Amino acid sequence: MTKGNFPVEKLKGIETPFYYYDTDLLKKTLKIVKEGTKKYGYIQHYAVKANANRRILELIASEGFGADCVSGNEVKAAITAGFPASKIVFAGVGKTDKEINLALDLNIFCFNVESMPELIVINELAAKKGKTAQVALRINPNVDAHTHEYITTGLNENKFGFSMAHLDNVTEVLKSLKNIKLIGIHFHIGSQIEDIHTFSPLCEKVNELQDYFEGKGIKLENINLGGGLGVDYDDPDAHPMPDFQGYFDLFNKGLKQREGQTVHFELGRSIVAQCGVLVTKVSYVKHGESKTFVIVDAGMTDLIRPALYQAYHKVENISSDLPVQKYDIVGPICESSDVFVKDYELNETKRGDILVLRSAGAYGEIMASQYNCRDLPKPYFSDKI
């Protein structure tokens, strides 16, 4: 028996909760992204923070992608999974000396540098090793991504990157940093951006900044535009992947790319979100005064996005074809915020039914915790189940 894309009988035999990944969909998505980047000669670095599952990383690395990392352990995970150091970029506002030294020893492609103190520290650590670190300056273009305030990253008030007002000082200081090679500029304005036209103002700012750097006699070999492309959480079946081609077309049209210059992207969520779900079992159906609660064995420890961002994930009862009823779907964690969705229409549900929370391939498994001393859910894959 299958319901939708889910082999119900096979899933019933696995201890819940667990993550289930559709490897066919992931491979199709990677193929489309590769076609879009190849059309314009763009480079894609997968954003490891979206999902660092070892097999997911190996599948992505095997397709020739680079990796975008934000910690030393992400750099290690990328190397272990088969990403070449020559395709690894390393961002993050708080890189430690240990992490910087690791990346220097591995000879990664580029540090995406977020502040003047970091730039100076990388120069000092590189000098001690007799190396030259390639860096891109992460710049806040003050572009509003029109997304949740917790995942907006490109405004002046955000903690990330250099303010454009400080660039004169940065370019002056760079002249004295003998173990730094500036190879480009980097941007990331936010996450879960559903309207691709939101990126048009970014193109305009990048074009202005190119002129600025050229006026300083600085030629930029690389432009890294980050990621942020959103996915359809409401109807993942209708849109199993976003409009990657439209996304790349927009940048090709809007950017004034210089001859010999390479353009990079750091997509994460849009690559892996729709291939993963969180599978959970109904422990109890509780009738309250005015609400009916479906209490499942997965909680905010296994998918924190609804509690952290008030994010929506579509929920399906793959055990029931009965008429819908309205429920609050909640987890077992001892926190009032452990709620997946309220007043939600779901096929009539009973104890033992299997529910799936869709679009959990990004920021699901990677953000799981053992709060309440819970076990971490195991991952399973469609081609190995």
> Residue 202 and residue 254: Cα distance in Å, rounded?
9
What confidence score (pLDDT) does residue 158 get?
A: 61
Nearest to 271 by CA among 199, 191, 200: 191
Same structural domain for residues 56 and 140? Answer: yes
Same structural domain for residues 60 and 152? Answer: yes
Cβ atoms of residues 253 and 202 within 8 Å: no
Same structural domain for residues 189 and 332? Answer: no
Cβ atoms of residues 286 and 292 within 8 Å: yes
Same structural domain for residues 330 and 188? Answer: no
Structure tokens at 384: 């190995």
What confidence score (pLDDT) does residue 21 get?
A: 98
Q: Which domain holds residue 377?
A: 2-18+274-384
Same structural domain for residues 196 and 255? Answer: yes
Structural domains counted in the chain: 2
Q: In order along the chain (385 residues), what is the average pLDDT of each group of 10 residues? A: 74 95 98 98 98 98 98 98 98 97 98 96 98 97 58 52 91 96 95 94 95 96 97 97 97 97 98 98 96 98 96 97 98 98 98 98 98 98 93
Same structural domain for residues 305 and 223? Answer: no
**DSSP assignments along 161-200, one per residue:** SEEGGGHHHHHHHHTT-TTEEEEEEE---BS-B--GGGGH
Boundary (domain end) residue, out of 273, 301, 331: 273
Structure tokens at 20: 């289930």
Same structural domain for residues 206 and 254? Answer: yes
Which residue spans within the chain are E strands per DSSP?
A: 2-3, 6-7, 18-21, 43-47, 66-69, 88-90, 110-113, 133-140, 162-163, 180-186, 222-224, 262-265, 276-287, 292-296, 315-317, 324-330, 339-347, 354-357, 378-381
Cβ atoms of residues 186 and 226 within 8 Å: yes
Same structural domain for residues 195 and 292? Answer: no
Nearest to 189 by CA among 233, 232, 139: 139
Q: List CB contacts of 373: < 8 A, sequence separation 6 or more.
A: none
Nearest to 272 by CA among 78, 80, 57: 57
> Residue 178 and residue 315: Cα distance in Å, rounded?
55
Q: How far is CA 347 from CA 290, 328, 360, in A?
A: 19, 13, 21
> Residue 357 and residue 236: Cα distance in Å, rounded?
11
> Residue 355 and residue 230: Cα distance in Å, rounded?
24
| CATH code for the domain in which residue 157 is found | 3.20.20.10
| CATH code for the domain in which residue 13 is found | 2.40.37.10
Boundary (domain end) residue, out of 273, 288, 319: 273
Identify any residues that bridge with 21 across adjacent strands, giving them in sequence order: 276, 381
Same structural domain for residues 88 and 223? Answer: yes
Same structural domain for residues 225 and 77? Answer: yes
What confidence score (pLDDT) does residue 290 get?
A: 94
- In the block, tokens 């007043």 appear at 343
Run of H or E residues at 37 = helix 23-40
Same structural domain for residues 256 and 303? Answer: no
Boundary (domain end) residue, out of 245, 273, 301: 273
- pTM of the full structure: 0.94
Same structural domain for residues 254 and 228? Answer: yes
